[in-house]
Amino acid sequence: MKAKPVIDMMCIVKDIEIIDTYKDKMRSLNYDVAGEWGIKGRRLFRKGEEKRTHHLHFYQFDYPEIERHLVLRDYLLTHPTAANQYSQFKEKLANKYEFTKDYSPAKKAFVSELEKKAIHWYQSKG
C-alpha cells in the first residue's frame, strides 16, 4: 500500500505518565515532543521536522482507541480492494500536499469512513 514516507509506530505502555519523563531523551534523539497533539491520553514524538520520517504514538495499555487502530490494520490486510482505494487516495493527497500538517487533516474524513467499515466488519465476525 502506498503511503507517505513516515513510519508510524504504536507503543503500548503500562503508565503513560512515565513517557513524559523521557522528553529530554527523545529530544536528544532528534524527536519533536508533541504531547497529546489532539488525542487525549496519547504521547506523540515526531522525527524529521517538516519532512517527517517517524511518528511514535504512545498509549497506555487500557486506552480504548488501541483496538480501533488494530482493527483498521486487520481490515486493510484482509480487504485488498479497500486497501487499494485507500492507497490511491493517499497518493492523490501526497501529490497535492507537501507537508504532513496539511496531508493528515485532508485524509481525516476518508479514514473515519474506512474505520466505520472496519469496525462493522470486525463486529460482524463475532
- pLDDT tens-digit profile of 23-78? 999 999 999 999 999 889 999 999 998 788 999 999 999 998 899 899 999 999 99
Pair 15, 59: CB distance under 8 Å:
no
Rounded distance, CA 36 to CA 44, Å? 6
Report if residue 2 sits inside a domain. Answer: no
Rounded distance, CA 99 to CA 120, Å? 32
Q: Could you tell me if 14 and 52 lie in one domain? A: yes
Q: Could you tell me if 76 and 110 lie in one domain? A: yes
Rounded distance, CA 103 to CA 98, Å? 7
Identify the domain containing residue 26 by its residue range.
7-60
Q: Could you tell me if 81 and 99 lie in one domain? A: yes
Q: Could you tell me if 56 and 105 lie in one domain? A: no
Question: 46 has which bridge partners?
Answer: 32, 55
Question: Which residues, 6+ apart, have CB-to-CB distance to 91 below 8 Å?
Answer: 2
Predicted TM-score (pTM) above 0.85? no
